[in-house]
Amino acid sequence: MYYLSIDIGGTYIKYGLIDRAGNFIQTWRQPTPKTLESFKKMIVSQLETQQGKIKGIAMSCPGRIDSAKGYVHTGGALLFLYDFPMKEWIASVSDLPFAVINDGKAAALAEWWIGNLKDVRNGAAVVLGTGIGGGLILDNHLHQGPNFQAGELSFLIRQSPNPKQPQLFGFHGSAVKFMAEAASIIDVSKEDHIAVFKAISNQTSIALTSLFENYCRDIAILLIDMQVLLDLEKIVIGGGISAQDSLIKMIKTQYSNLRQDETLLGQTFSPLIIEACAFQNSANLLGALYQLFVELDETLG
């Protein structure tokens, strides 16, 4: 018997059959529905398909998630999930144990459990997707905050030179927005990461190189702000785009450049360790499962 973990994203819903040790047995995905009813039908269909194979259900979701009550206050870009009692609804269609947690916090839990934040006392996960998710490990605990909103990095302010553009960092640091702009420069599909990063590596376009460097500089600024505010040891980068080694390398380069440009940073703060998430785009699935284990242990305890 395994566990079914579900990661709700702005573009796809990803699924994983996972064992107790965090090993993936099977993974798959479906396009994210546009309405609550179609979402419900999709999840019920998956539960029916996995009936008899699973003994628990875990879920990660964007937005403000009260993991204690299993309530989705906001669903990020998925407006149909706003004010949705997810745990209550799951209980109406399944009698299996269930837990739901914010996607950024799930990524941090996964990396802290068996990934690249293991044994790190103060660290964070930054998830680059439609917006920017975040999860904070402070003093060896996942820090959620009284409103379950700690680490909502998309809502940081980044002043834009164009007052007509959104000022929230989730707009400027969106990996989806970056890929769309990058793909349009070289005229390929916005989902063709391989073509985009091959063009970046070959420096075939000055405009693309500039876009890439500026995007990574924005992310590096975010990491520095997090380090200064929270005195972090290490930050791991997640999301589908984190599979690209050149992205992590450029973020680290821009981080180093900023420390050199602002000499007080280099003099005052030790270098931050920056790595990709060990589980990259699968971190949310593992972290949601770890949250389920935590809640089951608390119930037994």
Share of the chain above pLDDT 90, in %: 82
The tens digit of pLDDT for each residue in 168-196 reads 888 889 999 999 999 999 999 888 889 99
For residues 224 and 228, what is the distance between their CA atoms, to the nearest angstrom?
6
Q: Which CATH superfamily is domain 116-277 in?
A: ATPase, nucleotide binding domain (3.30.420.40)
Whole-number pLDDT of residue 301 = 52
pLDDT at 129: 85
For 220, residues 6+ apart whose C-beta sits below 8 A from its C-beta are 251, 252, 254, 255, 257, 258
Q: Are strands 12-18 and 71-72 parallel, antiparallel or unpaired?
A: unpaired
pLDDT at 33: 96
pLDDT of 71 > 90? The answer is: yes
Report the interhelical angle of 193-202 vs 175-186 (nearest 10°).
70
Q: Are 285 and 101 in contact (CB under 8 A)?
A: no
State the pLDDT at residue 165: 72
CB 17 within 8 A of CB 25: yes
Contacts of 148 (CB under 8 A, 6+ apart): 64, 65, 66, 67, 73, 102
pLDDT at 98 over 70: yes
- Beta carbons of 223 and 255 less than 8 angstroms apart: yes
DSSP helix/strand/coil, 10? coil
Classify domain 2-103+282-300 at the CATH class level.
alpha beta
Contacts 24+ apart (CB under 8 A), 49-55: 50/4, 50/17, 53/1, 53/2, 53/4, 53/17, 54/1, 54/2, 54/3, 54/4, 54/17, 54/96, 55/1, 55/2, 55/3, 55/96, 55/97
3-state secondary structure of 103: helix
Domain with CATH 3.30.420.40 in the chain: 2-103+282-300, 116-277
What value does the mean pLDDT of the chain take? 93
Q: What is the pLDDT of residue 126?
A: 95
Mean pLDDT of 275-290: 93
| pLDDT average, residue stretch 104-126 | 96
Supply the pLDDT for residue 138. 97
Model pLDDT for residues 224-256, shown as the tens digit of each residue: 999 999 999 999 999 889 999 999 999 999 999
Q: Record the pTM.
A: 0.89
* pLDDT above 80 for 300: no
Going by the DSSP 8-state scheme, the letter that residue 56 receives in this structure is E
Question: Helix 283-300 and helix 103-114: axis angle, to 10°?
Answer: 80
CB 55 within 8 A of CB 3: yes
